[in-house]
């Protein structure tokens, strides 16, 4: 859902007819009222399943997306993130001959199909240089920030009516085998803990809980509001939650996940969010302070302005694509992030 939050301010502030290609209902909830129509790209693919079967399903979804683009007839396709929906959207766009503007935030672990985007954006000059040097991309524009931060700053935060708790968010930086250690680590804090399972089954997470202080939530939760009211947040997630913690000023600890090198780790360091192993939470918790993130919203405003310029004058900025050499370089690098 983080890509939808990135595009929300752009769609809110520009007068265009937007059509949304997406998986699931989360994007619809975020972009409801901003899209003329939503189109399903199919289902997200898990890591399980035989490669041939998964590949066949992905090809089917690319053709479904290709058909949707034939109905929509867009002037431009916008993509963001490093998930399979970006792969499908860019592949279908190339088959249709439609220009692609891709907003990159993951930097170290992008999806390989951004090699065929006409414009790729980066949050900073340092990240632009990395994408060009490491992944041989040829047309990377610096936007100077994260538009997602503007989405968070415009949210209406609701008082959840509870106080004195630590919030634990279990996201995409964690694997199933990490959960026992994470639960043990927060139980050692001897605090009331509310757990948002996010990527994991509540029953699976609950099976490792031994303390009566830990409660695993189920169903929909207003995560930003819970974050704002928390005394502390511990999270095993990436860029989206890191941006939200920074904008909302939530004292936080980022769990060191299986992505040792990640743009969210860089951002956490920049705003003063410590990154720690789950077993070391008790050692760092007393030194946690609210993030020093005064610049993140201001930079997001500049990023939105630049992104709007790229959107309006796309043909002037569209340049050479990285192509197959870039695709192979990214594909080979992604092995280290699995």
246-266 confidence digits (pLDDT tens):
999 999 999 998 767 889 999
Residues 129 and 251 occupy one common structural domain: no
305 found inside a domain: no
300 found inside a domain: no
Task: Report the DSSP pairing between strands 166-170 and 140-142.
Answer: unpaired
Residues 8 and 128 occupy one common structural domain: yes
Residues 115 and 194 occupy one common structural domain: no
Residues 33 and 72 occupy one common structural domain: yes
Domain count, the chain: 2
**Mean pLDDT, to the nearest integer, of 293-315?**
96
Give the phi and the psi of residue 92 in degrees, each rounded to 5.
Answer: -65, -35
173 found inside a domain: yes
Do residues 245 and 180 make contact, with C-beta atoms less than 8 angstroms apart? no
Query: Residue 212: pLDDT band by 50, 70, 90 thresholds?
Result: very high
87 found inside a domain: yes
Residues 135 and 167 occupy one common structural domain: no
> Is it the case that residue 207 has pLDDT exceeding 70?
yes
CA nearest neighbour of 306 among 130, 138, 35, 124: 124
Note down the domain range covering 258.
Answer: 158-293
For position 237, which CATH number holds? 3.40.50.2000
Residues 199 and 278 occupy one common structural domain: yes
CA nearest neighbour of 117 among 134, 98, 96: 98
Residue 48: per-residue pLDDT: 52
153 found inside a domain: no
35-83 confidence digits (pLDDT tens):
999 999 987 655 556 778 888 989 999 999 999 999 999 999 999 988 8
């Amino acid at each position: 859902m983080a890509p939808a939050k990135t595009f929300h301010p752009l769609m809110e502030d520009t007068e265009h007819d937007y059509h949304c290609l997406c998986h699931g209902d989360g994007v619809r909830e975020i972009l409801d009222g901003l899209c003329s129509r939503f189109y399903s790209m199919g289902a997200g693919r898990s890591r399980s399943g035989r490669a041939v079967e998964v590949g066949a399903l992905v090809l089917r979804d690319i053709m479904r997306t290709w058909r949707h683009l034939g109905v929509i007839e867009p002037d431009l396709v916008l993509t963001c993130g490093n998930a399979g929906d970006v792969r499908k959207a860019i592949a279908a766009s190339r088959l249709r001959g439609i220009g692609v503007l891709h907003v990159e935030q993951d930097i170290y672990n992008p999806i390989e199909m951004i090699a065929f985007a006409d414009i790729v954006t980066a949050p900073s000059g340092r990240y632009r240089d990395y994408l060009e040097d490491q992944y041989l991309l040829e047309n990377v524009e610096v936007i100077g920030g994260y538009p997602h931060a503007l989405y968070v700053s415009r949210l209406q935060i609701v008082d959840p009516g509870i106080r004195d708790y630590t919030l634990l968010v279990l996201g995409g930086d964690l694997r199933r085998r990490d959960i026992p250690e994470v639960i043990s680590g927060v139980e050692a804090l001897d605090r009331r803990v509310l757990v948002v399972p996010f990527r994991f089954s509540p029953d699976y997470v609950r099976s490792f809980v031994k303390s009566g202080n830990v409660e695993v939530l189920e169903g929909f939760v207003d995560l930003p509001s819970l974050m704002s009211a928390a005394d502390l947040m511990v999270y095993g997630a990436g860029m989206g939650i890191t941006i939200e913690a920074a904008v909302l000023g939530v004292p936080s600890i980022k769990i060191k996940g299986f992505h040792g090198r990640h743009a969210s780790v860089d951002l956490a360091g920049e705003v003063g969010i410590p990154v720690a192993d789950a077993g070391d939470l008790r050692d760092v918790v007393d030194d946690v302070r609210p993030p020093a993130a005064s610049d993140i919203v201001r930079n997001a405003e500049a990023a939105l302005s630049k992104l709007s310029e790229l959107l309006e004058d796309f043909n002037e900025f569209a340049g050479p694509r990285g192509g197959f050499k870039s695709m192979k370089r990214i594909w080979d690098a992604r092995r280290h992030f699995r």
